[in-house]
Amino acid sequence: MGKGIGFGKVILFNEHFVVYGVPSIVSAIDKATVAVVERFDGEGWALEDERPATPGYKEEKLEQQRESIERILKAAGLDATKNPIKIWFGGDLVAASGIGASAASCVALARALSDEFGLQLSDERINELAYEGEKAYHGTPSGVDNTAATYGGLIWFVKGQPPLFERIELKEPVEVVMGNTGIVADTAAAVAGVRERKEKHPEKYAKLFKEAEELAYKARKALEDFNLKAVGELMDENHEQLRAIGVSCEELDRLVELARDHGAFGAKLTGGGLGGYMVALTPGKELQEEVARAIEREGFEALRTRIGVRP
């Protein structure tokens, strides 16, 4: 029996912009998906997915998940017709849009396969396998989600061949609240929409992308200086940029406003947008609880977690 884990993630700055080479800042959170792989007397591979989930998420993503598993097996050089396996997913990371659920499951599966079959894969190779798996969900993923799911901590990420990623050292983990709209979002469709609008309005988008790039460098410095007020203000600004490229929605904007009204240092959508999650910066357990309860009173799910968590 082989086991593996993959962290959930929250993009703090520049989702969507990251697809075009603009730096992004992502953090693992203290929630993870666990995978268990064991050989059995069946045919091919069988799946048991017991992750907690947003209603409809697992059903809607099932075909993508099947393709993802096939891709990971192929990339690992494993043939399930010769080595039939049972795959089980669990853990405390909610399977939902915007929280890196697919990447966490890809990383967890790659690690469990490595463990069961004695492949002794490095983190770098685990990340490569997970990226292969992510293609089933995102078409051409940026690689930011699987990198956070593999390595943990707070990461500066720039898409490329190979991608550039550097650790940002945070003085200590910081509490955040992630509010779930309950909407299962289609990341590939959101990415395609941005591309289409960018081609239609090149000047407007060039300006927005330049501003997003400048903001990333300010955010990195604010995080390294542990200036959380400045980090929050930049999150607010980044949300407006994401709204301007058309990836927010009414529910996300409502949650962002609600979090700010209850004292969050800053708040923004996180992930693909058009549903999924928002994230609010809420240093300290007391502020985290106040913002989380405000979100729950409005009928939404709130996830209390921390950024900057490392294995």
Does residue 95 sit in the same domain as residue 190? no
Check if the beta carbon of residue 129 is closer than 8 Å to that of residue 110: yes
Q: Is it the case that residue 142 has pLDDT exceeding 90?
A: no
Q: Which residues contact 49 (CB under 8 A, 6 or more apart)?
A: 58, 65, 88, 89, 95
Does residue 130 sit in the same domain as residue 162? yes
Check if the beta carbon of residue 205 is closer than 8 Å to that of residue 191: no
Kindly state the average pLDDT of the residues 129-154: 91
SS3 call for 308: coil
Active-site position among 30, 49, 145, 236: 145
pLDDT at 163: 85
pLDDT at 179: 96
Does residue 161 sit in the same domain as residue 41? yes
162: cis peptide before it, omega within 30°?
yes
Does residue 233 sit in the same domain as residue 144? no
Does residue 22 sit in the same domain as residue 157? yes
Residue 225 belongs to domain with CATH number: 3.30.70.890
pLDDT at 93: 94
pLDDT at 272: 87
Q: What percent of the chain has pLDDT over 70?
A: 100
Does residue 32 sit in the same domain as residue 86? yes
Kindly state the average pLDDT of the residues 113-139: 95
pLDDT at 177: 98
Name the average pLDDT for the chain.
Answer: 95
Q: Is it the case that residue 187 has pLDDT exceeding 90?
A: no
Kindly state the average pLDDT of the residues 214-222: 98
Residue carrying the six token digits 């061949």: 161
> Which band of pLDDT confidence, cut at 50, 70 and 90, is reported for residue 303?
very high
Model pLDDT for residues 73-98, shown as the tens digit of each residue:
999 999 999 999 999 999 999 998 88
Q: Which of 167, 198, 213 is the last residue of a domain?
A: 167
Q: Is it the case that residue 148 has pLDDT exceeding 90?
A: yes
Q: Give dist(CA 240, CA 262) in Å, integer.
A: 19
Does residue 198 sit in the same domain as residue 163? no
Helical (H) or strand (E) element with 34: strand 24-39
Does residue 299 sit in the same domain as residue 221? yes
Kindly state the average pLDDT of the residues 65-77: 97
Which of these ranges, 42-51, 79-88, 154-163, 244-253, has the smallest mean pLDDT? 154-163
**How do strand 277-281 and strand 266-270 relate by DSSP bridges?**
antiparallel
Q: Is it the case that residue 138 has pLDDT exceeding 90?
A: no
Residue carrying the six token digits 């463990």: 115
List the one residue out of 4, 23, 1 whose CA is nearest residue 12: 23
Check if the beta carbon of residue 265 is closer than 8 Å to that of residue 228: yes
Q: How far apart are the first and last CA of the chain?
A: 22
> Which band of pLDDT confidence, cut at 50, 70 and 90, is reported for residue 151?
very high
Does residue 163 sit in the same domain as residue 207? no
Q: Give dist(CA 238, CA 223) in Å, integer.
A: 15
pLDDT at 140: 77
> Which band of pLDDT confidence, cut at 50, 70 and 90, is reported for residue 215?
very high
List the structure tokens of 288: 């985290």
Q: Which of 143, 167, 191 is the last residue of a domain?
A: 167
Does residue 9 sit in the same domain as residue 153? yes
Model pLDDT for residues 166-183, shown as the tens digit of each residue:
999 999 999 999 999 989
Annotated catalytic residue 145:
yes
Q: Is it the case that residue 186 has pLDDT exceeding 90?
A: no
Which of these ranges, 45-54, 110-119, 182-191, has the smallest mean pLDDT? 182-191
**How do strand 277-281 and strand 174-180 relate by DSSP bridges?**
antiparallel
pLDDT at 141: 81
Residue 107 belongs to domain with CATH number: 3.30.230.10
pLDDT at 96: 85
Q: Is it the case that residue 311 has pLDDT exceeding 80?
A: no
Q: Give dist(CA 216, CA 211) in Å, integer.
A: 9
Kindly state the average pLDDT of the residues 141-161: 91
Q: Which of 167, 184, 201 is the last residue of a domain?
A: 167
Q: ∠ at Cα 166 (20, 170), nearest 5°?
A: 115
Q: Which residues contact 257 (CB under 8 A, 6 or more apart)?
A: none
Residue 194 CB coordination number (10 Å): 20
Domain region containing 244: 174-307
Name the domain count of the chain: 2
Does residue 252 sit in the same domain as residue 190? yes
pLDDT at 17: 94
Q: What percent of the chain has pLDDT over 90?
A: 87
